[in-house]
Amino acid sequence: EVQLVESGGGLIQPGGSLRLSCAASGFSVSNNYMSWVRQAPGKGLEWVSGIYSGSSRHNADSVKGRFTISRDNSKNTLYLQMNSLRAEDTAVYYCARLMGLRPDYQYYMDVWGKGTTVTVSS
């Protein structure tokens, strides 16, 4: 069964760091585009970060310079290292697999984890 399971969320003080993990099963993270999406309380979905072919990575402006996406192929796990956390980073964080179709590969998220909650507060 294709599945994603996030972990690592919790309560953290402003300025602190946290690393989220997303364990994949049923497919390989190394062969897929992967992404993190977050949802602040009562708000919509916000794309946070993506890791694409090879080492190509992109972040939303709101997290640029603070968050880093990575993957460990041996553990089949996606990560999100979050530094200099702010109150506005409080959200449920989802990892998702990106899928695209030939010929133009307009990617969409076909597999989602259940999410992990990050609360930034003193």
Instruction: By CB under 8 A, name the binding residues for other proteins.
Output: 35, 37, 44-47, 50, 52, 58-61, 94, 98-101, 104-110, 112-115
Tokens describing residue 93? 């964080």
Pairwise CA distance, residues 84 & 115, whole Å: 21
**Whose Cβ is closer to other proteins: residue 79's or residue 94's?**
94
- Total Cβ atoms within 10 A of residue 24: 23
What does the alpha-carbon distance between residue 72 and residue 30 come to, in Å, rounded to a whole number?
Answer: 8
Q: Which is nearer to other proteins, 13 or 53 (CB)?
A: 53
Measured from the CB of residue 77, what is the shortest distance to other proteins in angstroms?
Answer: 18
Beta-ladder partners of 18: 82
CA pair distance 118, 49, nearest whole angstrom: 16
Minimum CB–partner distance for residue 48 and other proteins (Å): 9
Nearest distance, CB of residue 62 and other proteins, angstroms: 10
* Cβ neighbours for 105, distance < 8 A, ≥ 6 positions apart: none
> Of the two residues 23 and 45, which places its CB atom closer to other proteins in the complex?
45
Closest separation in Å from C-beta 84 to other proteins:
20
Nearer residue to other proteins within complex by CB, 44 or 74: 44
